Chains A and B, each alone.
Chain A
Amino acid sequence: MSIFIDEGTRVCVQGITGRDGAFHTKGMLEYGTRVVAGVTPGKGGASVEGVPVFDSMKEAVERTGANASITFVPARFATAAILEAAEAGVGLVVAVSEGVPTLDAARIYHRLVELGTRMIGPNCPGIISPGRSKLGIMPGWIHSRGSIGVVSRSGTLTYEVVDQLRREGLGQSSVVGIGGDPIIGTSFIDTLRAFQDDDQTEAVVLIGEIGGTDEEEAAAFVRNVMTKPVVGFIAGRTAPPGKRMGHAGAIIAGGKGTAEEKIAALSAAGIPVAERPSDIPSLVASALGRAE
């Protein structure tokens, strides 16, 4: 099993004719993802990498049975694109687009709850189930199939960790980049719950960073609900307060959201927290009871 996506997921790429959309469509197809449709308003009838392009999500869903979308549209059109996908009835929207205004993200979040659509992101690398399918921009070749679930607010930091897990022979069940924005569709807790229920997943790596309280809430969830071991890492121990560190959501505001608070919360919940990414594989191995 895998979480949120599997081999059967039928994907529509929003913004498929753009530079990024076309590039990553190729990457997803090569990885084996079933990309069945693309949407770019005004480009209906075209095709990209052999994938038919439609003018609207509604048409794409009706004609191809797409049940998930991934958005590569520029930020200023992303809100409309995400809402259009959800209104067309797909169950999952992976919003790669960076730069969605925060109040738009709030409106999208609440509308998608009403429609019953899950959003991953925005401002995220997407999700991959190694060997099965990927809806995202991550390089497929660094991943390997296995039993470790990974959930992260970052992109390249996740690649770094996944690469090290693979080198140590620790394959992954699913790797989810939930996004670096202050308001995101799928939280740490949503993903941890899915990993807890997933037969393939035996342990989880949680990669957090400064800003907000999602890690603290995740720590409480792990303590109260999860039976599978979790290993943590928090980026931003040296980040100064009041400065946005690249991600819109990575900011210590009013003294809140520091790495220290998050590390303390995770530790208090019995979650070992790695000091360096390179320490993660050995912590995972010992959490699994496999002595090195």
Chain B
Amino acid sequence: MKIHEYQARGILRKHGLPVPDFEVVSDPEAARVAAERFGGRVAVKAQVHVGGRGKAGGVKLASGPDEAADAARAILGMTIKGLPVRQVLVESAVDIADEFYVGIVVDRATKRPVVMVSDAGGVDIEEVARETPERIHKEGVDPLKGLSDGQAAALASRVESRPEIAARIAECIRGLYEAFSESDASLAEINPLVVTTSGDVRAIDAKILVDDNALFRHPEIAAMRDPSSETEQAKLAREIGLSYVKLDGSVGCIVNGAGLAMTTMDLIKMRGGEPANFLDIGGSSAPEKVVTALQIITSDPNVRSILVNIFGGITRCDDVARGLVMALESSPVDIPVVVRLTGTNEEEARSILAEHAFTTAESMDEAVGKAVALVGRRP
């Protein structure tokens, strides 16, 4: 789950990181008041769930309250990569002498967290990794023991030679690891971590992604979810336990299992169609899930045909068939629906479907071929 910069800053502050004072506001007047309170130059930053907001003009410096209000007005009206900006963060600007990157991710290959630091702070770290990988220093962390003081000190000394400042950076690295580990993050980064002209170390940006599977033990983080960052369909899917990803094509898909769902999309493309979505109804075959799945898909105006592809092992084909009939009886659709049900209780499923206006298929290839051919036809 994504959280906003100001929320991530709150977590970092709890773990002792030097995060400057800030305020989050949603109108220009409040930005002016905040700037007055801080005095001097301030930074005004869009709070939106996308990367690259600086390049998009979502971060502005202001010399005083009037400029801060103007900056807030400009940013609050913006849409960055499709997402409208509803809140901005206002903070005192600092005089930057040096900028560093500190980040932590889970490395799948070594199955451990990896801490990365770089003296190329304030820029896109993926670009640094591509262009000048030698400027990124890494330490793998034993997840049973955590980051050692020695590892943090070693990393800090790779980017900063003055001992007392390196010690402060090491402290930030330890604090970030603690925040990462205790909030079950999949990514935690400070970019940039700055050294000011007076020699202070400050975390002036923060990004944390939290592992969805760990939200059950972090109710305070789960409550940070921004409802405006999620479409109605995505919310409906999440609440009933469907995996749904909207795409731009015209063939809607309902499949059981993630691998089979991806394969179904791939075959649609191979047959010259375009998938409208990824949708996995999961292992349980509760008819209600099928009803919701159909509801989500038919609310997408691009969808011109629907493919239901089920390999019933634990999922019972007759349950899925009942869900389909239930859904179409309560809200009929004028789009063709192609159904392929193989496996447990398939004969029973077939007889349930036979009484209704479904196009059926025996194999996945046949079903995909029919769903692509029927795009735009009447059912």
A residues touching B (Cβ–Cβ < 8 Å)? Answer: 75-76, 99-107, 109-111, 125, 137-139, 142, 152-160, 163, 180, 182-183, 207, 209-210, 212-214, 217, 235-240, 243-250, 254-255, 259, 275-278
- In the complex, the answer to whether B112 meets A106 with C-beta atoms within 8 Å is yes
Known contacts A238-B275, A250-B262; is-contact A156 B144 (Cβ 8 Å): no
A141 to chain B, nearest CB (A): 9
Please report the C-alpha to C-alpha distance between residue A101 and residue B342 in the assembled complex, in whole angstroms.
33
Known contacts A138-B313, A163-B311, A245-B245; is-contact A237 B144 (Cβ 8 Å): no
Please report the C-alpha to C-alpha distance between residue A246 and residue B213 in the assembled complex, in whole angstroms.
12
A83 to chain B, nearest CB (A): 11
| Stretch of B158-166, B200-208, B263-271 contacting A (4+ beta carbons < 8 Å) | B263-271
Known contacts A101-B214, A102-B106, A246-B278; is-contact A276 B258 (Cβ 8 Å): no
> What would 14 more interface pairs be, CB under 8 Å, given A246-B257, A254-B126?
A102-B186, A103-B113, A106-B112, A110-B143, A125-B313, A137-B314, A154-B260, A155-B283, A156-B315, A157-B260, A209-B259, A210-B262, A240-B245, A246-B262
Please report the C-alpha to C-alpha distance between residue A289 and residue B286 in the assembled complex, in whole angstroms.
45
A interface footprint on B177-215 (CB within 8 Å = 1, 0 otherwise): 000010010100000000000000000000000011110
- In the complex, the answer to whether B258 meets A246 with C-beta atoms within 8 Å is yes
In the complex, which residues 103-146 of chain B have their Cβ closer than 8 Å to any Cβ of chain A?
106, 108-109, 111-113, 126, 142-144
Interchain CB contact (< 8 A) of A106 among B106, B263, B363: B106
Please report the C-alpha to C-alpha distance between residue A243 and residue B279 in the assembled complex, in whole angstroms.
12
B187 and chain A: residue at smallest CB distance:
A253
- In the complex, the answer to whether A155 meets B259 with C-beta atoms within 8 Å is yes
- In the complex, the answer to whether A278 meets B363 with C-beta atoms within 8 Å is yes
- In the complex, the answer to whether B217 meets A239 with C-beta atoms within 8 Å is no
Contacts of B257 on A, CB cut-off 8 Å?
154-157, 246
* Majority SS at the chain A contact face: loop
Please report the C-alpha to C-alpha distance between residue A276 and residue B367 in the assembled complex, in whole angstroms.
13
* Majority SS at the chain B contact face: mixed
Contacts of B245 on A, CB cut-off 8 Å?
240, 243-245
Sorting the interface of chain B by its residue count into under 10, 10 to 19, 20 to 34 or 35 or more gives 35 or more
Known contacts A236-B266, A276-B270; is-contact A106 B259 (Cβ 8 Å): no
A197 to chain B, nearest CB (A): 23
Known contacts A154-B257, A213-B109; is-contact A237 B266 (Cβ 8 Å): yes
Please report the C-alpha to C-alpha distance between residue A105 and residue B113 in the assembled complex, in whole angstroms.
11
B342 and chain A: residue at smallest CB distance:
A163
Known contacts A163-B342, A243-B245; is-contact A212 B263 (Cβ 8 Å): no
- In the complex, the answer to whether A157 meets B143 with C-beta atoms within 8 Å is no
Please report the C-alpha to C-alpha distance between residue A256 and residue B79 in the assembled complex, in whole angstroms.
28
- In the complex, the answer to whether A277 meets B143 with C-beta atoms within 8 Å is no
In the complex, which residues 233-288 of chain B have their Cβ closer than 8 Å to any Cβ of chain A?
243, 245, 247, 255-263, 265-270, 275, 278, 280, 283
- In the complex, the answer to whether A152 meets B259 with C-beta atoms within 8 Å is yes
Please report the C-alpha to C-alpha distance between residue A276 and residue B268 in the assembled complex, in whole angstroms.
11
Contacts of A250 on B, CB cut-off 8 Å?
258-259, 262
A279 and chain B: residue at smallest CB distance:
B365
- In the complex, the answer to whether A245 meets B311 with C-beta atoms within 8 Å is no
B242 and chain A: residue at smallest CB distance:
A246
B92 to chain A, nearest CB (A): 32
- In the complex, the answer to whether B259 meets A101 with C-beta atoms within 8 Å is no
B343 on the A face (CB < 8 A): yes
Of A207, A239, A244, A249, most B-chain CB atoms within 10 Å: A239
- In the complex, the answer to whether B262 meets A235 with C-beta atoms within 8 Å is yes
Please report the C-alpha to C-alpha distance between residue A237 and residue B126 in the assembled complex, in whole angstroms.
23
Interchain CB contact (< 8 A) of B266 among A137, A182, A238, A254: A238
- In the complex, the answer to whether A235 meets B111 with C-beta atoms within 8 Å is no
B302 to chain A, nearest CB (A): 15
B280 and chain A: residue at smallest CB distance:
A246
A106 and chain B: residue at smallest CB distance:
B143
Please report the C-alpha to C-alpha distance between residue A180 and residue B363 in the assembled complex, in whole angstroms.
25
Please report the C-alpha to C-alpha distance between residue A207 and residue B258 in the assembled complex, in whole angstroms.
13
- In the complex, the answer to whether B143 meets A235 with C-beta atoms within 8 Å is no
Interchain CB contact (< 8 A) of A180 among B109, B259, B267: B259
Interchain CB contact (< 8 A) of B217 among A76, A107, A155, A255: A76
A132 to chain B, nearest CB (A): 19
B340 to chain A, nearest CB (A): 11
